[in-house]
Amino acid sequence: MKDSSQALPARIDLAIVGAGPQALTLTTHLLQKRSKLRQKFIVFDPSGTWMSQWRHQFAAQKIPHLRSPAVHHPDPNPHALRRFAENRRDELFPPYDLPGTKLFEEFCVEVIHRWELENRVYPGKISQILPIKHRLRPHFRLVLADGQSLIARRVVLATGGNVPQFPGWVERLTDSYPRDRLCHSQQVDLCSLHLSEERILIVGGGLTAGHLAVGAIAQGATVMLLSRRHLQEKLFDAEPGWLGPKYLKGFAAETDWHVRWKLIQQARNGGSMTPAMMVRLRRLAREGKLVFNERCEVVEAAWQSDRWQVRCADGELHEWDPALRMLPHLEEICFADRIWLATGTILDAKQHPLLRDVLATYPTEIVRGLPVLDEYLRLPGSEFFVMGGLAALQVGPVARNLAGGRKASELIVPALTKPSLAF
């Protein structure tokens, strides 16, 4: 849709909140199954475009290629991306044809064009979703930030819902400091920074930390990479067996939602680096541009004399600077111009602003932040669907990934297209 001045309809059959890769995946799968629904849904995103946040994140962290193989993408045909890349094989990276960022983005543009979705995103921010219970036709009022509202019979929440996770020592900071000198990874934009000769402390051991380290060093910075445990080297963030029946069959058979939550945590097992990223980081370490500090945790930090003084403990100590001062009890002091927190995000349905009123109307069991959805990814008793990481108790450990978007679409689309499955 062109601009937010366009009049919204008073009612719509389906509202999709969010326009990222998962929402695009759902939309193409829905139209493949029932093309007549084309005029019965609206996608909402403040940007007014598909995949705006995805593009920003990959550009800001200068991510060269995806972690997911080429079969995982928003089009219903799993072979579509490889066909699109027939004359661009050098943009599919080993070992499993991982698509380059530019290739994937241009492929998604082609998917959007082929499915005639260019003008399907309304540039509006949904600020509140109010369930309206009715004996025959319950529905939802969606309130936009600009005061407009409309009624939707069904809603799909595809906004991710991830909340940045901050270590406890950040919450304890009392002294004032420049806000751009301590950032969560989601706030870092490498394209807008000048880092020559700066020292940057990156806290975290996942792939995001690796991308930020490589990007900062390319701009002339030196980096210390600090992680609470030894860096894990894994090709994918969850074993490929979680993409099919090998592991999902047993997962689906598990009736204890708390056990399912534990299986998800065990499968993902925190952040990890790909083998290719570890090769790059080790080379940078040999060149003296990067220092690993594994099994180490920040105890406290203070902004003093235009730099951070950071006290770390319980780590395997590596020399960072001649000015390092060793302390008893395996503690050390290091100094940095910036601290970037690649400490991940947390998922908590209770903290999601668009779920507050919905959960009050449709009480749902929450297991460690994740809602217990029905087999079509609905809040029980409602026509409110959830995609992304918040759907992990049904979809499994890859719920937040591209493969999870496809699996979620396969579960949601039948309930959107078969009247017999409606509540």
What pLDDT sits at residue 175?
A: 76
Collapsing DSSP to helix, strand or coil, 89 comes out as helix
Residue 321 has pLDDT above 60, yes or no: no
* C-alpha to C-alpha distance for 185 and 343, rounded to whole angstroms: 8
* C-alpha to C-alpha distance for 379 and 360, rounded to whole angstroms: 11
* C-alpha to C-alpha distance for 312 and 332, rounded to whole angstroms: 5
What pLDDT sits at residue 3?
A: 53
343-391 pLDDT, tens digit each:
999 899 999 999 999 999 999 999 999 999 999 999 999 999 999 999 9
Kindly report the backbone phi and psi dihedral angles of residue 58, in degrees, each rounded to the nearest multiple of 5, phi listed first. Answer: -70, -35
What pLDDT sits at residue 271?
A: 85
Q: 55 pLDDT band (50/70/90 cuts)?
A: very high
Q: Is the pTM of this model over 0.75?
A: yes
Residues 271/226, Cβ–Cβ less than 8 Å: no
114 Cβ neighbours under 8 A, 6+ residues apart: none
**Of 61-65, 143-147, 242-246, which gets the smallest average pLDDT?**
242-246
All structural domains of the chain with their residue ranges:
11-163+345-421, 166-234+272-341
**Of 68-72, 133-137, 415-419, which gets the smallest average pLDDT?**
133-137
Beta-ladder partners of 154: 14
CATH entry 3.50.50.60 includes domain 11-163+345-421: yes
Residues 15/155, Cβ–Cβ less than 8 Å: yes
Whole-number percent of the chain with pLDDT over 90: 80
What pLDDT sits at residue 307?
A: 95
Domain 166-234+272-341 fold is FAD/NAD(P)-binding domain (3.50.50)
Residue 96 has pLDDT above 90, yes or no: no
Whole-number percent of the chain with pLDDT over 70: 94
Mean pLDDT taken over the chain? 91
Q: 270 pLDDT band (50/70/90 cuts)?
A: confident
Mean pLDDT of 217-235: 94
Mean pLDDT of 72-87: 97
Element (H, E) at 395: helix 392-395
287-320 pLDDT, tens digit each:
999 999 998 999 999 999 899 999 998 654 444 4
Q: What is the 3-state secondary structure (H, E, C) of 347-362?
A: ECHHHCCCCHHHHHHC
What pLDDT sits at residue 324?
A: 40
Residue of 289, 304, 312 lying closest to 200 (CA atoms): 289
Residue 423 has pLDDT above 80, yes or no: no
* C-alpha to C-alpha distance for 135 and 369, rounded to whole angstroms: 30
The two tokens of residue 132 are 């309206």
Can 11-163+345-421 and 166-234+272-341 be said to share one CATH topology? yes
Residues 226/203, Cβ–Cβ less than 8 Å: yes
Beta-ladder partners of 43: 16, 121
* C-alpha to C-alpha distance for 17 and 125, rounded to whole angstroms: 9
* C-alpha to C-alpha distance for 99 and 83, rounded to whole angstroms: 12
Q: Helix H segments across 118-226?
A: 168-171, 207-218
* C-alpha to C-alpha distance for 192 and 183, rounded to whole angstroms: 14
What pLDDT sits at residue 420?
A: 76
Query: With b meaning 16 or more CB within 10 Å and e meaning fewer, what string describes 265-302?
Result: eebbeebbbbebbbebbeebbeeebbbbbebbbbeebe
What pLDDT sits at residue 395?
A: 96
Amino acid at 16: I
Q: 133 pLDDT band (50/70/90 cuts)?
A: confident
What pLDDT sits at residue 322?
A: 41
